[in-house]
Copies of this chain bind each other. A is one copy, B any other.
Amino acid sequence: MALYYDEVFEDSVRFGVKVERTLHSEQSRFQKVEVLETTRFGRMLVIDGLFMTSEKDEFFYHELLVQPAMCTVAKPKDVLIIGGGDGGSAREVLRHQDVERCVLIEIDEAVVRASKEWLPTIGSAWDDPRLDTRFDDGVAFVKEREGAAFDVILVDGSDPVGPAEVLFSEEFFRGCQRLLKPGGALALQSESPVYFRDTFVETQKKLGGIFQTVRPYFGPVPIYSGGVWSWTLCADSVDPLTPVDARVEAMTGGSQIYNADIHRAVFALPNYLRRAIAAG
């Protein structure tokens, strides 16, 4: 019998999906990795009880993490993804013909293995020769790597609890900045501004002390409860609000969401967040 699997937030709200069956369940060295067959969203990746991505709604997240930064930077050749073990962000990066190399550093091999087996439509670019997948600690990689080697860095991690907490540290952000080539950009998921308001505001503040241009942006992700998700684009010499329409137009045909109107619209900041950031 199908049962609901709930993601509970701070013991005050829960979002549940009906599950037809469990396709994969594994306790890796780092976390519990599950793939569920759900009634509404198709196959869904769940890590430590948190809904990560699903076949039916993954484009809401992956297009918005990846495309604003990729279309802001002129001719991005070298891209680094920290996390992103489901392969969706790499797929979006590799749609860009200018990309010569995409290094994906996922700490947990189990996530990539489960995603390759059960979520092939999300990670449809695993076999692209430009993709260099490494199972390693992305934070250590950023810390140790020398030289400005990347045009775009994408942080595609989990909530800032447990292993992903360091992905929200000032040291990590400064490390990313150091690895960016001139004209480069960093984009990261920056949590729900509704449920994780404090994390969102603190992250903006930290980034604002590091990068010249810090632009939070927003969009829905149906399997993420709270109604709206946020990402943040950071750069020192480019700005996503400078017109970039030609590059955006080239990505529109193959995108479910992303187009020139959306590229501009997602950066609109509602007053309650404008005020929270100003007060933060």
Binding site for B on A (CB under 8 A): 4, 6, 10-18, 38-41, 57, 59-60, 194, 218, 220-229, 252, 255-259, 261-262, 264-272, 274
Contact = CB atoms under 8 A, between A and B. Distances in A.
Contacts of A265: 264-268
Nearest to A256: B272
Contacts of A194: 57, 220, 222
Contacts of A271: 252, 255-259
8 contacts: A15-B16, A57-B194, A220-B228, A222-B228, A261-B269, A264-B264, A264-B265, A265-B265
A259 B4 CA distance: 39
A6 B16 contact: yes
Contacts of A6: 14, 16
A223 B225 CA distance: 9
Nearest to A229: B227
A8 to B, nearest CB: 9
B256 A264 contact: no
B18 A16 contact: no
Per DSSP, chain A at the interface is loop
In this complex, the member of A220, A222, A225, A229 whose beta carbon has the largest number of chain B beta carbons within 10 angstroms is A220
Contacts of A10: 40
A228 to B, nearest CB: 4
Given A14-B16, A222-B194, A268 B261 contact: yes
Given A13-B17, A18-B13, A257 B228 contact: no
Contacts of A227: 57, 60, 220-224, 227-229
A4 B9 CA distance: 12
A159 to B, nearest CB: 17
A175 to B, nearest CB: 32
